[in-house]
Amino acid sequence: MVELLHPLLSNLNPDTGLMDPYDTHRQVRLGDMPNHYLSGHLHGSSALNQDTVLYEVFELSVPEKAGDMIPCSTILHPGLVGDEFFMTKGHFHKNREAAEIYYCLHGEGLLLMQQDDECIVKQMNQQTLIYVPAGWAHRSVNVGSEDLVILAVYPADAGHEYGFIEKSGFAKRIFSNGEKGYIVK
Ligand code: PAN
Ligand code: ZN
């Protein structure tokens, strides 16, 4: 017999990204990303240390089966590692047929989406909705001075594959221009 999930309800604060209630809260620290930034860990970033939290993800837990969807919020803090803006690790979905919806609630960011040789960069501001099609790796970057807050919804059986991006990166990186803007290289 198929067990039906009961409806879930949470309060998601659009300014802070905090969810109440939530089931899981993941904090990603600089020390969790030894291979993602060009400049390595601490070079040129005296205010940072291994324990600096770069971003956090709140999720409601849903059984990982086809047909269900997982709602989550990402809070990507502002800052630089060397000249690169704080960013998420970025991943492919293990299930390459799993797409995702991103909806920006607060802040100024970019969403990198990559497939084969193509890397597309889209701006995310409050109220931007982006459909990440199946098969595209995706990474968020905070290019503003406040938290970047995103609501994302993805298929519960998507799974996350981080290895390829950790090893090969995205074809584009986002650097500070030394003032308030950014440079895509
Ligand atoms: C998002 C991401 C979240 C954190 O919920 O998982 O922004 O990024 P990383 O997973 O790359 O660390 C999502 O795309 N889920 O599928
Ligand atoms: Zn995803």
Tens digit of each residue's pLDDT, the chain (185 residues) = 667 889 999 999 999 999 999 999 999 999 999 999 998 655 555 689 999 999 999 999 999 999 999 999 999 999 999 999 999 999 999 999 999 999 999 999 999 999 999 999 999 999 999 999 999 999 999 999 999 999 999 999 999 999 999 999 999 999 999 999 999 99
User: Residue 104 to residues 18, 162, 180: CA-CA distances in angstroms?
Assistant: 14, 22, 20
For residues 30 and 43, the answer to whether their CB atoms sit within 8 Å is no
Q: What is the pLDDT of residue 158?
A: 98
CA of 137 to the centre of ligand 2 (A): 8
- Ligand 1 atom closest to residue 139's alpha carbon, by position in its atom list: 11
| Domains in the chain with CATH codes | 11-184 (2.60.120.10)
- Closest CA relative to residue 105, chosen from 72, 61, 134: 72
Mutate to test the pocket of ligand 1, among 36, 72, 141, 147 (most ligand atoms within 8 A of CB): 72
Q: Find out whether the beta carbon of 36 lies less than 6 Å from any atom of ligand 1.
A: no
- Distance in angstroms (rounded) separating the CA atoms of residues 119 and 126: 23
Q: What is the dihedral of CA 90, 107, 154, 162, to 10 degrees?
A: 10
Q: Find out whether the beta carbon of 57 lies less than 6 Å from any atom of ligand 1.
A: yes
pTM (global) more than 0.85: yes
Taking the CA of 150 as reference, the closest ligand is 1
Mutate to test the pocket of ligand 1, among 73, 97, 113, 160 (most ligand atoms within 8 A of CB): 160
Strand order in the sheet with 137-142: 118-125, 108-115, 137-142
For the purposes of burial, counting CB atoms within 10 Å of the CB of 145, is it exposed (0-12), middle (13-18) or buried (19 or more)?
Answer: exposed
- Distance in angstroms (rounded) separating the CA atoms of residues 149 and 3: 33
Residue nearest atom 7 of ligand 1, based on CA coordinates: 74
